[in-house]
A and B are shown apart, each in its own frame.
Chain A
Amino acid sequence: MHKYILRRVLLLIPVMLGVSFVVFTIMFFTPGDPAKIMLGERAPAEEVALLRTQMGLDDPFHIQFFNFVKNAVQGDLGRSLVTKRPVAAEIWSRFPATLQLSAAAVLIAILMGIPIGIISATKQYSAFDMISMVIALLGVSMPNFWQGMMMILLFSITFRVLPSSGYGTLGHLIMPAATIGTSAAAVITRMTRSSMLEVVRQDYIRTARAKGLSERVVINRHALKNALIPIVTVIGLQFGSLLGGAVLTESIFSWPGVGRFMVDAIRTKDYPSVQGGVLMLALTFSIVNLAVDILYAYIDPRIKAQYK
């Protein structure tokens, strides 16, 4: 098992190198001169040229990439071209907001998705199944930014019960978390339903039923436990993708998260921020998924046996 974990951790290294390479390449081809961005558009050409040389921007691609990786390994992600602060500090100051939002959204999604999914599966093709699946599908079908706007109109303007934007209190968290949470809930509901449907057809469930166990015990003790593995994976993936993917929702609600910062950085060609930020998001995503994998390797003895 330890070997397995070690192997997975080591595998993160090439993946992170790859992430750096992909992002570095895209930013390399993005038009816009970083030296000019630093000095302002009115800076004289000679000064821009001088700074380009100092920043190593005239070096060939592979040298620049190598230098970036060398510094990143030492924990130096460079300084933002726009705010002139260390990129790590910029990301770090926005990380709590992002983490809070993702966690709240995933929590909402789990609380909604798993119970609805279970009931739907046990009552396949019932009215409840149909209705909850329709609602779950509407959840994924609504563009987040539209849902966010509608919620602001309803809860901030009409009812005046929730603040329309900003960060800090529980009130501020509810709408953005619900906006993202409902679409994540839809994914989890569908996953739970199909995973449960899969499991209830297995022999051991039939055996359990044959033994005369009550339906509740069969579902809760036996079926759910086995159906959870793919559900946990999906939750992990959702949580991971929310960390950087809640860009539009963050904009709508003026949420000071990492996603919005990254989009601003891409727009201003603040390339150290983009590279550093994507690297940190990718690392978090990978660690979350690694944690999920290890978690259910412990839950499920079959997987555990596989990696001994």
Chain B
Amino acid sequence: MPETTSLPGQTHFVAPSSETPLQATGMVDTSAPPEGQWKEAWKVLRRNWLFWVSAILLLFILVVVCFPGLFTGVDPRQSMLSKSLQGPQSGHPFGFDKQGYDVYSRVVYGARASVVVGLLTTVIVTVIGLFTGAVAGFFGRWVDALVSRIADIFFAIPLLLAAIVGLSALNNVWPDRGYWGGVLAVVFALAAFGWPQVTRIARGAVLEIRGLEFVDASRAIGASKWRNLFSHIIPNSLAPVIVTATVSLGVYIVAEATLSFLGIGLPPSIVSWGNDIAAAQSQVRSGDNLHVLFAPAGALAVTVLSFMLLGDAVRDALDPKARK
């Protein structure tokens, strides 16, 4: 927190900073707090065991994503149809799915597409949404109207329907796109219609922050609007955005599964948890061989859990108001 904010009401007595010698020090003051804030946050994070648990889990998942070959020697696309739906056995700890694929190997190799879809979509959505939301909430007036209306145009079209239509339109303009092309197409389709959600949350948070004293204070001492936006408004409105982002990360991974369930997500040549959960849905009804469902769904749940716990820990650390 800037020192000035600890003196509420003092802003009344301060002349416009351009007219006082305070201008020079004001510039330093406004940029310093965030740095202190992040340093402070790290101190808090270090003491949070949840942070370490989730960070280690995520690190592990990241290794699986980058080097799946370290964890299994079985080709996830090697089909042994005669062993279709058989349970765990030697060398195949999770058994086989309907196509006769090794479920364990599918879980290991499936991490990549699912995590990349979730992570990349969330990053794109959060960056666009945070920036647009902050600008809209902070500048208000016609800027708010313009940004909000553009966001509305995208947000008003339902995500799932938009993604279905968008993906098949992408098929037309971008056929034969291979592994990463297939993954990116899903990311683009989800991100194109997902960002306004973050915009709304960020705008709401900024509207709240804008009224707080320290913002008035830093404005009073002459910080430029943009500087104010980046050094005070955005960092201080991060908390709800991070919470939304960590939750929606899971939602995007699941959305990929739903798109696959509807037959339009990742092509079958791409091994992903989403495709495998979708393929396992026929087992749910019969209630048999649920291992083909629980393995990818469990991996997905653990991954989402890790991101959510990390998000919680970071939010607690970043938001001094919520700190114990």
Do A and B come together as binding partners?
A: no
